[in-house]
Each structure stands twice: as structure tokens, then as C-alpha cells.
Structure 1
Amino acid sequence: MAKSLFPRAWVKKSFFFQARISFVRVKYLFLTWLTVLVGSWVLYLQYTAYTELCRGHECKNAICDKYRRGIIDGSACASLCDKETLYLGRCLSTLTNNQVYTGGWGEQSGIIRCNLGKVVHYELGEEPEPRREALMFDKPTRGTSVEKFKEMVFNHLKFKLGEHTNLATLVSQILSVADGNKDGRVSLQEARSMWALLQMDEVLLGLLLQDRGHTPRLLGFCGDLYMTERVPYGPLYGFSLPWPLVSWVPGGLQRTMDQWFTPSWPHKVKISMGLLELVEDVFHGTYGSFLICDFAAAHFGYTDRHELRLTDARVLVPEDEFRRNVRVLKCESDADCVYGADCRTSCDPLERRCREEPVQPNLAKACGALKDYLLRGAPPGMREELERQLYACMALRGHAGQMNMEHSLILNNLKALLWRQISHTKDS
């Protein structure tokens, strides 16, 4: 009797074993199917977001259509539309109407930017309206003389930058850039392209600073599409997550990862010196004072020689423009008086209006951005002094008495301290 029980027990055990294997197979098959489904859905969402965000072909078609119809012209038009030696590469856009791409033009590599204007979405079944002619290329009008165009540019600069004795020199510099084919004259089509570019603050302010080496050089333009030098390393910390991952990585972890990918300390010093020189040049500079309203690392990069470049000039605001904009802001508290990302003023409780004077100057915010960047890896012998000077710099206030003298003293002391660390190296 005992012998007959063994096969039965074995069969029963075998049955359960096979059933368990079948269950595990079904489980893993289900998990595999679920993974493929979710992965496909994520890829689909990323693809649709990419196609919605990246519309370089629309930009090129719109610009080349206007070029061929004789509305606009510029130094890059023939290469973009006829010879096709200027091409759009990888999409870097973060806004639908502001198209940004890597690009190539012969042996030069750069960044190409193009504004699409307002992007209109249509429901399924609706007929889209015919694309309206962009109004940005309606000035100057036919028959406008070069002298009249100079006057237009001069008045525009005066409104943007304020009254300065050397605006006429800047006008001549802009007209030289506008002459795309270098034939000694600015055609109506070239004037329209340059006028459209001047309406974009990042182009105008970039032109102001490129002679000092603070911004990438303008390589060419066609209408409001333009190409600048490519800054090989950016952001400031040398690491940038791919855009699909940015929203998934916590901010604290991203800041830690930023520090992992910084250059060597002497190279960080040279980059920091470039930022301090930028701050110095926009503080009571040739064309007035400017505020830097966002010191995020993403807006700065550096070259192979570790020279700093401001890669997004939109963070610069002329002081006159800043005052015009904040004086009309109503407020209940200081928290209501913020312009851009971090240009703050205080609230006047009696008038319930924002005051015009910024709370922090550029230098204080620059030192705040450089604190962790410079202190990490600093030589032990100078770390304490560097930390003391950085904190003194961060304590600067825009409304403090004799701020100009204090500003200059702190800036010079900090630059001297850093310069001593690299003056004997090849980075100097």
C-alpha cells in the first residue's frame, strides 16, 4: 500500500510544480507586456512632445519664403535657402515658439535661433486659417532712406538703453552688421532683417557685449533667424541632463550631480573671473547699467580655454527699463516686487507700489552663484579667506550708502585673491 502512495504523491507534486511554473510564466508574460505597453506609451508621449516642440522645418520654410519673395535678406539667407550650406541640426528647443538648434555653416558650428511667433492649435476637423504675413518685417517701409533708418535705430537704442553720448557709434556698428553681403550699403531687405533682430533684447544686448567677449559672436542672420557661435561647455557646472529627464530628477540630486562634473579648481577660478568681469562691465558700463535677473547656471557656459560666455542675454535688463517696469507694479508685500527670476525691490507700504531700487546688486547674486562652485576643492590655505570675502560680497545691498565704493572694493579684493591662485599657471 505504501508503494502505491509514492507515485501518486510524485504526480501530485509534479502537477503543482508545473502549475507553479505556468503561473510564473504568465506572471512574467504579463509584466513583460505591461512594461512594453508603458514604455511604448512613454515613448509616444516623448515623441509627440518632441514633434510639438521642434518645428525647425516650419521656421526655415517661413524664412526662405520671405527671402525668395524679396521681403528680407541677410548674410545667411543664400546659404540657408539656396546653397543649403547652413543647416539645422539637433533640436534644443524648450518653447514651441522659440526654436533653438545646433547648426553648421561650412566649417563653423553654432546655435541657430528662430522665432515662430504664436503657435495656434486647431481641433480635429477644423480648417486652419491662411498663415498671416508677419508684421515684424513691415519696417522700414519702401522709400526709407539710410539716414532715416539710422534715426530709427538711434531712437530705438535710446528708448532701450537711455541717453548716452556714444549711441551714434553703436548705430554705426549695427549698420555694419546689417550689411550682410559687405557691399558697403544696407538694402531695404537687410534693414528689415536687422530691425526685426533689434526688437529681440537678447540680440541687441548680445551685440553690446560680444566685443568684450562676454557673449557668443553673431555669425549670420536671415530675417529674425540668426546663428551665434556655439559655446562647447555648458551650463556653468559642465553637466546638463537630457530634457526628458529634467522633470524626473529631484533638484537636490541634480545640484549634487552638477558638482561632480565641474572642471578642475584652477579652471573654475578662471571661469569665475570671467563672471566677475561680466558683472564689472555691466555695472556703469559704456551704455549704462544693466541688471542680471537670473544667475542660474544654465545661462552661462565656457569655451575650451575656460572663458565664460553668457549664453542667454535675455537675463540682462537695462536699468532704465527695469525702473520703468517695477514702478508700475502694485504690491502688498516685498514678495510682489520681483522682476524676472530674481531681481527684487521692496514694497512701499504707504503707496502700495514697488520701489525702483533693487535690493541686491549683480555682484551679490554673482557671489551667491559662485559660493559652492568655488569653495568645493579650494586649497585649504585660502579657503577661509575666500569664504569670508564671498559672504561679505553676498551681503551687499543695492540701497546701501556708498554702494558704488563698497562694490568696487569687494570686487577688486575678490579678483585679486583669485588672481593670485592662477597668475603663475598657464590659465592666466
Structure 2
Amino acid sequence: MFTVRTQHLYQLFGFKARFSYLHMKYLFFSWLAVFVGSWVVYVEYSSYTELCRGHECKTSICDKFQKGVIDGSACNSLCEKETLYLGKCFSAKPSNQVYSGIWGDIEGIIKCQMEEVPHYDLGVELEPRKDFPSFNRPTKGTSVEKFKEMVFSHLKAKVGDQANIQDLVTLVLGVADSNKDGQISLSEAHSAWALLQLNEFLLSVVLQDREHTPRLLGFCGDLYVMEKVPYVPLYGISLPWLVELWIPTSLRRRMDQWAAPSWPRKAKIAIGLFELVEDLFHGTFGTFLMCDVSAAEFGYTERHDIKVLDAKRIVPEASFQEVMRERRCDEDSDCVYGRDCLTSCDLTKHRCTTEVTQPNLAKVCGTLKDYVLYGAPSDIKEELEKQLYACIALKGTTEQMELEHALTLNNLKTLLWKKISHTKDS
């Protein structure tokens, strides 16, 4: 009897101990989940409030507009009619506000500079800092002719001494005349001068007749509205960062390929990117360098035409060389701009050289290699791979190499175009 009762008590206390242990374990993990969840919410909220300052940007811009300091084609809609409004925040830096926007029935992307123009991995910026918002140039009393001279000198410093630089001045002044009355007011000139400091605005003017850059829809001060690109990025799918942590690289790469368009459409997108390289290399207003050719910098339209998403990292070669010429260095890694523009270090002078080690075409081929080889037709896959690797190996910009670049570019476009020209995707 005693043994049975003792055994029963042992079982009872053992059950209570197990129950208490499970209860404590449950409480611990519940507390941990609440703590981690709260931390994630706090980090996300803090990050959002730091990065997304669109209300501040709009308030500052509209204050300047209402005081007559700035003017532009988007000012009335933004500040008075309120038919242009900011939507979802896409800002990656507090100093460069990026939002989706609706302007009447048009979707666009709104970009606004806060405090300073963002700069990249250089000791000296290609886009010089400015006090925000100053809009103090040109000064009151400046004539239109004097303003034209200011624009001419600025563009000459940016793109080099081009024979047709006056044509570029005319294009810029045409954009500056926002109400198309044939006159440029001081407030319009303030806006135009602020925008001219931005590489993206300059490129949108240079390539406005081409299809590879989104159209500039309007501006107010240095806030500007660009055409929205429907499909972004060039390839790959966006996942929450918590999910990204648990996905193996090989699986992630496969998922990106599964989400990509059909191969003929990828080929058309690739041809568009090669055409962009042609436009930027010895173009109408000089050569521009592509200093970030990652997939995230490009998108495409319903018709699978390539579009540049962020042109801030496409810089005039003349400006790049001027900065690099004065850049001190101890090794080649000191001579880098953005992600992809690298020169070598002259150790005898401890100065960076001015010629990029890899041309635009080679960088684009590196970005496109896996994209266009995956799913490529078997009858051209081997030749396509051979040409892509030859393209990636291109170096330098000497006269002989320029001829090789042109030949490589033409061969790749021809190979892809012949394969898709008879399809509906062409």
C-alpha cells in the first residue's frame, strides 16, 4: 500500500515538474518572439522615419515656390492644385528622397534632394555638395545671356569641350522654360541650375530622344518627376530580408531565373542594353561611364524595352577623369567610383590614372551573362557564351580596342537579333 501511494506521488510530482518545465519553456519562447518582433518593428520604423522625409521635402519646395524663389512645370500641381502627390517611399538614403507618385492619371517616380546631393565612394564628389535649399544661383539681376554663359561653362566642365556643346545648352534652356513662353524667369533659372548639378537630369536631357531613359515629366526646384518603369529590377524577385537570410544562394539564383521573361524577351532586353552602351560611348555630347551596372539599376517596359532606373551613377567621362586625376592613392582599390568604375594607381606619383580598366560594354556583358545564357536556344548557346566571355575580357579604350569593342557589340546584337527577329517578341 505504501509503495503504491509513494509511486503515485512520484508520478504526480513528476507530471507537475514536466508541466512546469513546459510552461516555462513556452513563456520563454513567447517572450523571445515578442522581443524579436518588437525589435524588428522598432528597426523598421526607425529606418522608415530616417529615410522617408517626403513631407519635409514637399514643405520646403512649396515654401520656396510660394515665395517666388523657384518655379517649374510641376510646382502648381504639387503645391496649389495638389494633383501631384507622393505615394510609397523607396528612399535608400535620407539625402535622396524617392517616392512613387501620381500626377493626375499618370504614374511616375518623384525624386527630391534633401540637405545635400548624395555622393559616392570618392574623396571628391562628382556631384558637389550644396546647402539645401539655397537656390541662390543665378543671382538677382543676372541677364538671360549671362545665364546661358553659366550653363555653357558648367556643361563644358561636365562633358568636356564638345564641338556641339551649344546644342546641349539649347536643350537645357528648353527644359528650363517650363511654361513654354519663350522666356526664362529668375525662378525658372534657379530650378534649372539646381537640376543641372545632378547627373540624372543631365543624362535625361542628353538622351531625351532615345528610349533607354525614363522621360522627365516635370520639376519644381530640384524635385523632379520621372516616368515610372513598370518592371523592376532587370531580373530577380524582391523578398523580405528575413526570408532572404534563409534562402541558399543557388536556390535564390534559380528563383530569379524562374521569374524572368521568356528567352526571346530577355534577348530583346539585352539588345536594348547594348544599344544604351552605344548611346553612351562617343555619343552626341561625349562619352558617359556606367559606374553601376547591377540588375537593380535597370528595368523594362511592357514591350520589353530597357530603361535606366537610376542614372546618378552614369557620369560624364570628362568629369570622372578630372576627379581621378587629382585623386591620391596607394593601391588600385583607392581609385574606384560607384561599384564598377575602377582605374589603376600610378605608384610613382601616388595618383589615380584617368582611364577605366573595364569599358561599359565589358561590364554590361558581365551583368547579362547568366541572364541570357539561361534558357538560350541550343543552336546558339555555345556561340553566345563564347562571345559574352570575349566581351567580358575587353580592356582599355585605345583606338585599336575601340574597334574591337564596336565589332564585339555588333556581333552580339546580330546573333541575338537573328534569333528573335522572326518572333512576335521582336
Q: TM-score, normalised by structure 2?
A: 0.91
Give deviations 1:81-113, integer Å, cap 9, x for gaps. 111111111110111111111111000111111
- Amino acid of the structure 2 residue aligned with 1:78: N
Q: Confirm whether residue 149 of structure 1 aligns to residue 154 of structure 2.
A: no
**Alignment partners' CA distance in 1, 2:351 and 2:420:** 47
Pairs within 5 Å for 1:231-250: 231-242=229-240
Q: Hey, what does 1:335 align to over in structure 2?
A: 333
Matched residue, 1:160: 158
Q: Shift in Å at residue 245 of structure 1? A: 6.8
Is the Cα contact below 8 Å between 2:264 and 2:420 reproduced in 1? yes
DSSP-derived class of the 2:92 partner: coil
Change in 2 beyond 3 A, CA 1:150/1:328: same
1:32 alignment partner AA: S
Q: Find the residue that maps to 1:110 and give its secondary structure.
A: strand
Given candidates 268, 271, 279, the residue that maps to 2:269 is 271
Shift of 1:246: 6.8
Q: Distance in 1 between matches of 2:223 and 2:398?
A: 43
**1:33 alignment counterpart:** 31
Report how far residue 179 of structure 1 moved: 2.0
Alignment match, 1:114: 112
Secondary structure of residue in 2 paired with 1:281? helix
Give the Cα separation in 1 of the matches to 2:247 and 2:69. Answer: 46
Q: Aligned to 2:91, which of 90, 93, 108? A: 93
Quote the Cα distance in structure 1 between the aligned partners of 2:383 and 2:101.
Answer: 44
Distance 1:141 1:401 in 2: 44
Deviations 1:368-425 (A, max 9, x none): 1111111111111111000111111111111556112111111111100000111001
Kept in 1: contact 2:115–2:131 (CA 8 A): no
Using the TM superposition, give the Cα deviation of residue 206 of structure 1 relative to its aligned residue in structure 2, in angstroms: 2.1
Cα RMSD (Å): 2.3
The amino acid of 1:51's aligned partner reads T
Q: Which runs of 5+ in 2 are unaligned?
A: 118-129
Deviates more, 1:342-351 or 1:383-392: 342-351
Aligned length: 414
Tell which deviates more after alignment, 253-262 or 196-205: 253-262
**3-state secondary structure, aligned to 1:90:** strand
1:282 is aligned, of 265, 280, 283, to 280
CA distance in 2 between counterparts of 1:56 and 1:100 reads 8
Q: Provide the residue aligned with 1:187 in structure 2.
A: 185
Instruction: Name the structure 1 match of 2:174.
Output: 176
Change (3 A) 1:134 1:345: closer
SS at match of 2:207: helix
For structure 1, which segment, 156-165 or 86-95, has the greater mean C-alpha deviation from structure 2 after superposition? 156-165
Matching residue of 2:379: 381
Q: TM-score, normalised by structure 1?
A: 0.90
Alignment of 1:19-418 (within 5 A): 19-118=17-116, 134=132, 136-242=134-240, 254-399=252-397, 402-418=400-416
The code of the aligned residue for 2:368 comes to L
Equivalent residue letter for 2:173: L
- Cα deviation, 1:163-215, whole Å, max 9, x if unaligned, reads 22322222222222222223332221111111111111121112212321111
Letter in 2 for 1:171: V
Q: Is the 1:295–1:369 contact (alpha carbons within 8 Å) kept by the matching residues of 2?
A: yes
Deviation, structure 1 residue 221: 0.6
Q: Which amino acid aligns with 1:268?
A: K
Q: CA deviation at 1:253?
A: 6.1
Residue 180 of structure 2 aligns to a residue whose secondary structure is: coil
% same residue: 60
Q: Report the CA distance between 1:154 and its aligned residue.
A: 1.6
Aligned partner letter, 1:345: T
Preserved contact between residue 194 and residue 222 of structure 2 (Cα < 8 Å): yes
